[in-house]
Amino acid sequence: MHEITKKIIEGDIRAASRLIRDIDDGVTGVRSILKDLYTRTGNGYVVGVTGSPGAGKSTIVDQLIGHLREDGKSLGVLSIDPTSPFTGGAILGDRIRMQRHATDKSVFIRSMATRGAFGGLSRSTKGAINVMDAMGKNYILVETVGVGQDEVDIVGCADTTIVAMPPGMGDDIQAIKSGIMEIADIFVVNKADLDGADQAVSHLTALLELNADKFDNNHWKPPILLVEATRGKGIAELLEYIEQHRQHGLSVDHKIAHSKVHDKISNEIVETIHASLVDKCQAFIDNDSTIEKSVDAILNGDSDPYTESDKLIDQFLHSK
Ligand SMILES: Nc1nc2c(ncn2[C@@H]2O[C@H](COP(=O)(O)OP(=O)(O)OP(=O)(O)O)[C@@H](O)[C@H]2O)c(=O)[nH]1
Ligand SMILES: [Mg+2]
């Protein structure tokens, strides 16, 4: 077992921070540590919080931290922002918003820019979640900004996904377009103190009714909750829904639960193969001057990048 693996299992914050930064930077060697850690994972409950910029995700996370800490739970908090120039630390705004927890040893907050160096966004996120899980955190809260495909992918890492939106025109319409309807386990209309919050709730309710056929029998029907995160209103209810969803996950038809876990693991294998193959192929190219010949051939007008990459892949596959 790696020295760093032992430290992380003991909850060492410096070792964990370092590993998360290395995952974010795509440092080689990270995979063998994650491999070591894997058997220690699977105990932490992962809650994803996503939604449009400024919806109040960090404020909601901050409130959830407060409630869960009162309950004696240990926490890992991961803030994923692919657009951030900061990496491996806390994003400035989040640091301020979650400052009251900064000195609490049972709350471990990190942020990642995840430019995909470790084989894609969801791969890096999953890696960092596993680090926090192996540290023994009871809950891992993952905040992701935006409502694009990347976020939908990241959300695949969560056991329960909260989609937060502020009142106002367009948000709910945009939500359907980007497929966020499908991934939400709980909808939060935040900023209940602002005009239009009730309309947003009824709009969402109507949309869910349109999709009612998806939520038959054993399927979880996402509740819609009105929250005022700045004053902590609705947070206790939000935690109740998270718990209900967790229980639902445990109680649903065994087949559904089994196939979900099956899908998750098979995705993880495929993603790891992708990342691993790219690394190995890259190492092969770096160690070999063949690429220079390919470049020359293209410069001379004798070939093209497609032909040359096919050739290199072929050589790589036959090099073992
Ligand atoms: N009026 C009102 N403002 C809120 C509420 N919750 C959050 N805000 C404010 O909304 C702004 C954005 O909140 P954040 O928690 O940073 O939102 P976010 O979704 O994390 O933002 P990004 O991470 O930048 O996408 C801040 O100024 C908050 O104080 C609320 O319930 N009511
Ligand atoms: Mg935020």
pLDDT tens-digit map of 20-76: 999 988 887 888 899 999 999 989 999 999 888 888 999 999 999 999 999 999 999
> What is the per-residue pLDDT for 88?
46
What backbone phi and psi angles, to 5 degrees, belong to 47?
-110, 120
- Of 108, 109, 76, 74, the C-alpha closest to 91 is 109
- Domain housing 87: 3-252
> What is the per-residue pLDDT for 142?
93
* One domain, residues 172 and 308: no
* One domain, residues 67 and 158: yes
The residue whose CA has the least distance to atom 12 of ligand 1 is 54
* One domain, residues 154 and 93: yes
CATH of the domain at 221: 3.40.50.300
> What distance in Å separates the CA atoms of residue 114 and residue 125, rounded to the nearest whole number?
8
> What distance in Å separates the CA atoms of residue 66 and residue 60, rounded to the nearest whole number?
10
Contact of 121 with 150, CB cutoff 8 Å: yes
Whether pLDDT at 89 is above 60: no
**Ligand 2 centre and the CA of 57: distance in Å?**
5
Q: Which residues in 168-223 belong to E strands, given as ranges?
A: 186-190
pLDDT range class, residue 149, cuts 50, 70, 90: low
Alpha carbon separation from 107 to 44, 79, 117, 179, 311 (Å, rounded): 13, 13, 26, 32, 50
Residue 164 CA neighbour count, 13 Å, CB half: 28
> What is the per-residue pLDDT for 28?
78
pTM, entire model: 0.84
Give a yes or no: residue 261 inside a domain: no
* One domain, residues 247 and 112: yes
* One domain, residues 28 and 171: yes
Give a yes or no: residue 263 inside a domain: no
Point out which residues pair with 48 in neighbouring strands.
Answer: 142, 161
Q: Is the CB of 191 under 6 A from ligand 1?
A: yes
Contact of 86 with 145, CB cutoff 8 Å: no
* One domain, residues 58 and 27: yes
Residues with CB under 5 A from ligand 2 (ion): 57-58
* One domain, residues 297 and 217: no
At which residue do the structure tokens 């992701």 appear? 144
Count how many domains the chain has.
Answer: 2
Q: Which residues in the chain belong to E strands, given as ranges?
A: 45-51, 75-80, 107-112, 139-145, 160-165, 186-190, 224-227
Give a yes or no: residue 260 inside a domain: no
Alpha carbon separation from 92 to 17, 23, 193, 236, 257 (Å, rounded): 17, 21, 26, 27, 39
315 Cβ neighbours under 8 A, 6+ residues apart: 284, 288, 290
* One domain, residues 194 and 107: yes
> What distance in Å separates the CA atoms of residue 184 and residue 221, rounded to the nearest whole number?
10
**pLDDT tens across 249-278, in order?**
877 666 666 677 777 788 888 888 888 888
H or E element at residue 247? helix 235-251
Give a yes or no: residue 290 inside a domain: yes
Q: Which of 81, 142, 230, 231 best tests ligand 1's pocket when mutated (most atoms within 8 Å of CB)?
A: 230
* One domain, residues 104 and 198: yes
Pick the last residue of a domain from 252, 281, 296. Answer: 252
Give a yes or no: residue 262 inside a domain: no
**pLDDT tens across 221-239, in order?**
899 999 999 999 999 999 9
* One domain, residues 198 and 288: no
